[in-house]
Homo-oligomer: A and B are copies of this chain.
Amino acid sequence: MTMTLQQRKKHENFSEWFEQVTLHTMVYDYRFPVKGCGVWPGYGFKLRKLVLDIMRNLLDESGHEECLFPTLIPKSLLEKESEHVRSFEGEVFWITKGGFTELGEKLALRPTSETVIMPMMKLWIKDYKDLPIKLYQVVSVFRYETKATHPMIRVREVTTFKEGHSAHATYEDAEKHVWNMVELYKKFFDELCIPYLISRRPDWDKFAGAVYSIAFDTLMPDGRALQVGTVHHLGQNFSKAFDVKYLRADGSHEYVWTTSYGISERVIAALIAIHGDDHGLVLPPKVAPIQVVIVPIPYKGKELEVYEEAQRAYNELKLAGFRATMDDRRDVTPGSKFYEWELKGVPIRIEVGPRDVERGVITLVRRDNLAREEVPRNELVASIRRLAENITIALKENAWNYMKSRILRAHSLEDASSFIRTKKGIVEMTWCGHSECGLALEENLEAKILGAAMETIKVEGKCINCSKEAMKILRVAKTY
């Protein structure tokens, strides 16, 4: 592809930056002729796979089984849990025809899979020994979004929906699992160097059919909070609707308690948005499809030494297990290569020139801060390993520091309102915990309540709205 970036100022025009950078790096192509549907070309697919691999490993290690459930949901099934359908029916794609035939019963494209998985759980669960069940799938889900769509962030086909589902013998077991999954998601986001806030969504904004919902939000460069993960305690709402019972040791029957938890390609959007800069992508080494690129810089008469040394370096890195690429194209200048690999976010670039060969050193350039350093040639692998670790640490620190700098503990509604409008960030306020105060704040600030902070934060003072004693820290922000 021979295209040039139109717009690369991340902080000036984030939407444009995001669409251009993902397109020109072949991470995501949003030009498909159906609104809200994007394509993952090769480079993006590899990035997506590496991100999902981290999630799969975490889930597999914690006793989950990966499964695959059907896409089509008969209307009658979707309607079984009444709150659930009320929330989703306005945004479900409906199949009404098969070939030339009107279908007897409409089929929904799954917007999420609780109503698909419960009928199977009913068949699979007999007694307490079958519990807990922990499973997940990675699939497309479909939502007829009526709001403005954004590539990866608000799409009609969510192509990377990792949904986990569990069933337990008691409320407490399910609750324990909810918190285990919150911990698991923390590990996941930590691996990706994505900072997050964990909030309990207000009751009017919890998942449809949930007892409560815990959400992970991060902050995007345009100052809007982005929900990147959720964990729901579903109580017995779905098990009662789908009649999923188990036999207890004492011979009685009880409905199971279920949970569900999901992430989507929004995680990849956050990864790109948070770490990227005006040169393009900046990928954490762990998920970079190419971790190291080697660029030989030949001088006349010294070509052979340079190419041979570059090849040796490449071989060493491959042997050590790095995802390395050799860029020995003869018809492209080193400068153009640097531009290209920086755009693609390759964490480390190795330059091999004739002077380096003579002196027994090798030049490394970090993508995150573009700093150069020389290391002894015979310490190449160890140096790359160290540098990759340092990059990871720096990306994480910078991302957390940036997010924290955009969070204000507001002591008045005026401060809160002005911060949201001008500083583009998240406001935290003391809150009595009552819905009325929450809803009043939401209206007043023209922003959205993320919910009550679940991190350990000392709560002191009065509710910012009603002046009664504060019980919680409430978070409010503009959102997607």
**A37 contacts B72, CB within 8 Å?**
yes
CB-nearest residue of chain B to A90: B99
Other-chain contact of A157, B72, B100, B144 (Cβ < 8 Å): B72
Any B CB within 8 A of the CB of A204: no
Near B by CB (< 8 A), chain A positions 70-97 give: 70-74, 77, 89-97
Other-chain contact of A72, B1, B34, B42, B69 (Cβ < 8 Å): B34
Residues of B within 8 A of A277 (CB): none
Q: How far is the CB of A67 from chain B (nearest CB, A)?
A: 5
Any B CB within 8 A of the CB of A101: yes
Other-chain contact of A70, B2, B39, B70, B124 (Cβ < 8 Å): B39
Q: How far is the CB of A208 from chain B (nearest CB, A)?
A: 14
**Interchain CA distance A101-B77 in the complex, whole Å:** 21
**B99 contacts A96, CB within 8 Å?**
no
Near B by CB (< 8 A), chain A positions 24-44 give: 29, 31-34, 37-42
Near B by CB (< 8 A), chain A positions 108-128 give: 109, 116, 119-120, 123-124, 126
**B100 contacts A90, CB within 8 Å?**
yes
**B119 contacts A70, CB within 8 Å?**
no
Tell whether A33 pairs with B119 under 8 Å between CB atoms, given A39-B70, A65-B42, A157-B70: yes
**B94 contacts A95, CB within 8 Å?**
yes
Residues of B within 8 A of A89 (CB): 99-100
Residues of B within 8 A of A156 (CB): 72
Residues of B within 8 A of A157 (CB): 70-72
Any B CB within 8 A of the CB of A107: yes
**B68 contacts A45, CB within 8 Å?**
yes
**A140 contacts B71, CB within 8 Å?**
yes
Q: How far is the CB of A98 from chain B (nearest CB, A)?
A: 3
**A32 contacts B119, CB within 8 Å?**
yes
**B33 contacts A74, CB within 8 Å?**
yes
**B126 contacts A1, CB within 8 Å?**
yes
Residues of B within 8 A of A167 (CB): none
Q: How far is the CB of A57 from chain B (nearest CB, A)?
A: 14
CB-nearest residue of chain B to A116: B32
Q: How far is the CB of A60 from chain B (nearest CB, A)?
A: 10
**A32 contacts B70, CB within 8 Å?**
yes
**A67 contacts B94, CB within 8 Å?**
no
CB-nearest residue of chain B to A127: B2
Any B CB within 8 A of the CB of A389: no
Near B by CB (< 8 A), chain A positions 1-53 give: 1-2, 29, 31-34, 37-42, 45-46, 48-49
**B95 contacts A67, CB within 8 Å?**
no
Other-chain contact of A2, B34, B101, B120, B126 (Cβ < 8 Å): B126
**B70 contacts A37, CB within 8 Å?**
yes
**B31 contacts A123, CB within 8 Å?**
yes
Any B CB within 8 A of the CB of A146: yes
Residues of B within 8 A of A45 (CB): 65-68
**A42 contacts B120, CB within 8 Å?**
no
Subset of 23 A-B contacts with CB under 8 Å: A29-B120, A31-B120, A33-B77, A34-B70, A37-B70, A37-B72, A39-B70, A40-B69, A41-B135, A42-B66, A45-B65, A46-B66, A48-B68, A68-B159, A72-B142, A72-B157, A90-B99, A93-B97, A93-B98, A93-B107, A95-B96, A99-B144, A140-B140
Nearest first, the 5 A-B pairs at minimum CB distance are A42-B65, A98-B144, A37-B70, A94-B97, A40-B68
Q: Beyond the given A33-B74, A89-B100, could you list 6 further A-B residue pairs with CB under 8 A, ordered by the A residue number?
A: A34-B74, A38-B70, A93-B107, A95-B96, A99-B144, A140-B140
